[in-house]
Structure 1
Amino acid sequence: MIRLLLADDQALVRGALSALLGLEADLEVVAEVGSGDAVVPAVLAHHPHVALLDVEMPGLDGITATAAVRDASPQTKVLIVTTFGRPGYLRRALQAGASGFVVKDTPAPQLADAVRRVHQGLRVVDPMLATDSLVAGESPLTQRETEVLQAARDGASVATIAGRLFLSEGTVRNHLSAAIGKTGAANRTEAVLTAESNGWL
């Protein structure tokens, strides 16, 4: 039996995935969690062969949780199953150690097959996303520019962002200006939206 952990903040989605995968003779769902923070403790408690993680969850996001799972339990493979098929997410997930990346509307037989292939040590990536990722390329933002844009997501002032990141206001303005230029945006709100839509944040 291939032991599975499901992590998704939507109980309905978790239940549906569990029911569908549970119909497969060789798959067994041994744990379900609703936040990224709960993933590693559940992995350590239940020893799944494959962890299926959503990207956007409370606490740790699925990409950060992927890296944490790979550190805590290297034998556990990670398959990202998400609504948010953004090219930047795919690239970041693979860099974090995920073995696969599929979207939630993948038909159940294909999802079960993806789980089996990941368990065998193969890499499984949604082909459309792989193409989009190649076309989009890597994020043009530096790590600091990414952090500044993330801090600007809620419309915070330059002073507030500076306080959150322990930077001077001038430094924040410089990073915002660079990020706006690199994303081809007219202002920082547009820069945040562009970076989010590409999965760079």
Structure 2
Amino acid sequence: MAANLRLAPPPEEPQALAPIPEPIGVVLADGHLPMRHSLRRLLDSELDLEVLAEAGDHAAVACEVQEHRPRVLVLDMHMAGSSSLDAVRTLSERAPETRIVMISMEEDPQFAQRALTAGAVGFVAKDLADAELAQAIRAAAADHEFVSPRVAARLNERHRTLTDHKLTQREVEVLRLIAYGHTSVEIARKLQLSPRTIETHRAHIHKKLGLGTRAELVRYALRRGLIGA
């Protein structure tokens, strides 16, 4: 009796490998060269991020974004020359496909709020860049907002101050500057308002918060995270 022969199964078709996603293209802009080099090394260590170009001033930023059309621009909040906030507004119009993450030595929530209002989708404090910058870039590339949690907590306190005591945005701004020790004349100069207008804001702040002295305002601002300790 002939032995039963078992035919070998046909070879399986090789499975196609999943395509490797394109890295997120980044333009890195910081006017301080050692800081920019440090940030470059940080981003180069991330396999899914690719630094396409660097820039040290706003003119170079505009050129590099125009040439490379990155998915994300990392932009120093305080580069010398023209305003970075103005640059955000301009680039948001000229390169709407590029998402902007602002970086800053300042952790003041007011800076973060201004950056987001201008059109940025991220804000990272520079001393937290090691832990948070790559995360912020990935969030921005996915059209998600990212603010350093430490700054976000103070932003939330700022918003709660507005809600709890019905302070206007301008009154919160004046309160912060009072707490930092500025006079009405200095505040007027900073905010481009008249000293009389600042005095009116001061009176409203004292009345709404029920606080009588500058020392009490300072303690209140510290508790609410409106100024740094």
**Contact between 2:44 and 2:51, CA under 8 Å: does it hold in 1?**
yes
Unaligned runs of 5+ in 2: 1-22, 163-167, 178-184, 207-212, 215-225
Equivalent residue number for residue 59 of structure 1: 81
Unaligned runs of 5+ in 1: 150-156, 166-170, 187-197
Answering whether residue 25 of structure 2 is matched by residue 3 of structure 1, we say yes
Q: Deviations over 1:146-170 (max 9, x none)?
A: 9xx9xxxxxxx99xx7xxx8xxxxx
Q: Deviations over 1:65-98 (max 9, x none)?
A: 2222111100000111211111111111111111
Separation of aligned partners in 2, 1:84 and 1:107 = 13
Structure 1 stretches of 4+ with a deviation exceeding 6 A read 182-186
Task: Report the CA distance shift for 1:120/1:37 in structure 2 as closer, same or farther (over 3 A).
Answer: same
**Contact between 2:77 and 2:84, CA under 8 Å: does it hold in 1?**
yes
Question: What is the number of equivalent residue pairs in this alignment?
Answer: 171
Separation of aligned partners in 2, 1:173 and 1:108 = 43
Separation of aligned partners in 2, 1:2 and 1:87 = 28
Task: Report the CA distance shift for 1:37/1:84 in structure 2 as closer, same or farther (over 3 A).
Answer: farther
After TM superposition, list the pairs within 5 Å mapping 1:18-57 onto structure 2. 18-57=40-79
Answering whether residue 155 of structure 2 is matched by residue 133 of structure 1, we say yes
Task: Report the CA distance shift for 1:112/1:64 in structure 2 as closer, same or farther (over 3 A).
Answer: same
Report how far residue 177 of structure 1 moved.
4.1
Say which structure, 1 or 2, has more relative contact order (CA 8 Å, 6+ apart): 1
Percent of counterpart pairs with the same letter? 30
**Contact between 2:24 and 2:48, CA under 8 Å: does it hold in 1?**
yes
Task: Report the CA distance shift for 1:183/1:98 in structure 2 as closer, same or farther (over 3 A).
Answer: farther
Aligned Cα root-mean-square deviation (Å): 3.3
Report how far residue 109 of structure 1 moved.
5.2
